[in-house]
Amino acid sequence: MIEQQLRNYVECNIADFHRKRIASLDGLKLSKVLKRKNPYLFRAKNMLTAQGIVRALVDAHISSNEETIFGDWLEGLAIYVCSEIYSGRKSGITGIDLEFDKEGIRYIVSIKSGPNWGNSSQIKKMISDFNSARKTLRTSNSTINIIAVNGCCYGKDNTPDKGSYFKYCGQQFWEFISGNENLYINIIEPLGTKARQRNDEFVELYSKMINRFTVEFANEFCDEDGTILWEKLVKFNSEKRI
């Protein structure tokens, strides 16, 4: 792949990641994140300030949410790269993200962010999706040679042959869909385009949210001298509805 093509795609589309990242934070509510997290853990860690709890809540939400948003973005990049090199395409088959033909083989690919993406049940579901995809594709061409691949955008796996499918991670995955062994490195530099500007916008929004949530938490879950009302917090999080 021509490096300028990659740069152009990243620079034109990375703003979508930042936009979604900011939008997810902009619509966040304290009550929503409080109900998701374990209040016993905060007590066990002896967290004594409203801001400390609020930061822990918001940071956990951000970390989880950004992994999902950026994972989806990287999937789009992988499909674009493969489309330019091997005429790859977004698959219409359930559980399959990418299809392409190379050297007489139809590859069906399930794209994940990193190598440690799922538990045993989720891996079984992926294998089931691969098997269903094979049956679907062979209804129109019974002789088609199909290979299933779990592609991971970063990380390593030194035993790629999993029996019913292959698992390619990091450099091996990007080379597999592009034919370029250095593509995994070439991606990193253009990702910084306008990153500082968009991150400044994110940090400003984050700071305002921490301040706002801290006041809200203190008003709702602290007594007049600033002591956290743990019983009230646990009830808000876990009390059964009557």
- Note the CATH architecture for domain 87-193: 3-Layer(aba) Sandwich (3.40)
Tokens coding 149:
């691949």
- Range in 55-64, 82-91, 166-175, 185-194 the model is least confident about: 185-194
- Spell out the domain ranges in the chain: 1-83+194-242, 87-193
Residue 240 bridge partners (DSSP): none
Decide if pLDDT at 97 tops 90.
yes
> For the residues 172-187, what does the mean pLDDT come to?
94
pTM above 0.85, yes or no: no
**For 1-83+194-242, CATH number?**
1.10.3250
Query: What is the structure's pLDDT at 194?
Result: 65
104-157 pLDDT, tens digit each: 999 999 999 999 998 999 999 999 999 999 999 999 888 899 999 999 999 999
CB-based burial, 15-54: b 16+ in 10 Å, e otherwise: eebbebbbeebeebebeebbeeeebeebeeeebeebeebb
Distance of CA 24 to the CA centre of its chain: 13
pLDDT at 242 over 80: no
